[in-house]
Chains A and B, each alone.
Chain A
């Protein structure tokens, strides 16, 4: 069975550019989560969706970050404009029950 799929796996961009991270959750899962992991702040929940509806975006750092889930099989996290402090590993996770969350491999973002 395919797990959570994230693309790209690595992204290097310059400050000011728009970055779009993509996630395909496990088929049938109804909850999707975006996390960010940095050395300084650890793992942080940015936003999560339930049945494609954003439930809590209180973890989104600022207006430069936005997330969408147009359908049950696809979500994007967009940063515009990107800044060096956005450099991190971004994880997408999905869940059916709300208990066990299955994580994708992550996207390592470097903003120069």
Chain B
């Protein structure tokens, strides 16, 4: 069974500062993927970044980077140079990899609400 934990229900960050969103996970699958999604107040789910458990390097996508620490089972999202448009709910998710029955089956954490202030 998989479990995703996001312990920060909400946080404030000032514009142009960096923010780290925590995510820890638990799984018995030998290989898995970790994802971050953004959900602004308009409601849509926007894919941000992906990290495979087998990847040696941390994933980066523009201002987003994923701090992957496999031994600690953590996959924190770092947003650099925050912008007002980054205000949203952020979800960490994971999925087993390999095997038709489980591939892509995402399980989400509870989310962290980020508010960026001027």
Which A positions have Cβ atoms within 8 angstroms of B? 31, 33, 42-43, 45, 48, 50, 55-56, 89, 91, 93, 95, 98-103, 105-106, 108
Chain B residues whose C-beta falls within 8 Å of the C-beta of A45 in the assembled complex: 105-107
Sort A-B residue pairs by CB-CB distance and give the 9 closest, nearest first.
A98-B104, A103-B45, A43-B108, A98-B103, A100-B47, A105-B44, A42-B110, A31-B104, A106-B43
Given A100-B47, A101-B47, the answer on whether A43 and B91 have CB atoms closer than 8 Å is: yes
**CA–CA, A46 and B52, complex, Å:** 24
Chain B residues whose C-beta falls within 8 Å of the C-beta of A89 in the assembled complex: 43
Question: B63 CB to closest chain A CB, in angstroms?
Answer: 18
Chain A residues whose C-beta falls within 8 Å of the C-beta of B110 in the assembled complex: 42
Chain B residues whose C-beta falls within 8 Å of the C-beta of A102 in the assembled complex: 47
Size category of the B interface is 20 to 34
Question: B34 CB to closest chain A CB, in angstroms?
Answer: 11
Other contacts beyond A31-B104, A48-B104, A99-B104: 10, CB < 8 A: A33-B104, A42-B108, A42-B110, A45-B105, A93-B45, A99-B33, A99-B95, A100-B47, A101-B104, A103-B47
In the complex, the answer to whether B106 meets A33 with C-beta atoms within 8 Å is yes
Chain B residues whose C-beta falls within 8 Å of the C-beta of A55 in the assembled complex: 100-101
- Of residues 85 through 101 on chain B, the ones whose CB sits less than 8 Å from some CB of chain A are 91, 95, 97, 100-101
Chain B residues whose C-beta falls within 8 Å of the C-beta of A43 in the assembled complex: 91, 108
* Partner pick for A100 among B50, B101, B111, CB 8 A cutoff: B50
**CA–CA, A100 and B47, complex, Å:** 7
Q: Pick the most buried of B37, B46, B91, B105: most chain A CB atoms within 10 A of its CB.
A: B105
Give me 6 A-to-B residue pairs in the complex whose CB atoms sit less than 8 angstroms apart, sorted by A's number. Answer: A42-B108, A43-B108, A56-B105, A99-B50, A103-B44, A105-B43
| CB closest residue in chain A, given B37 | A103
**CA–CA, A106 and B39, complex, Å:** 12
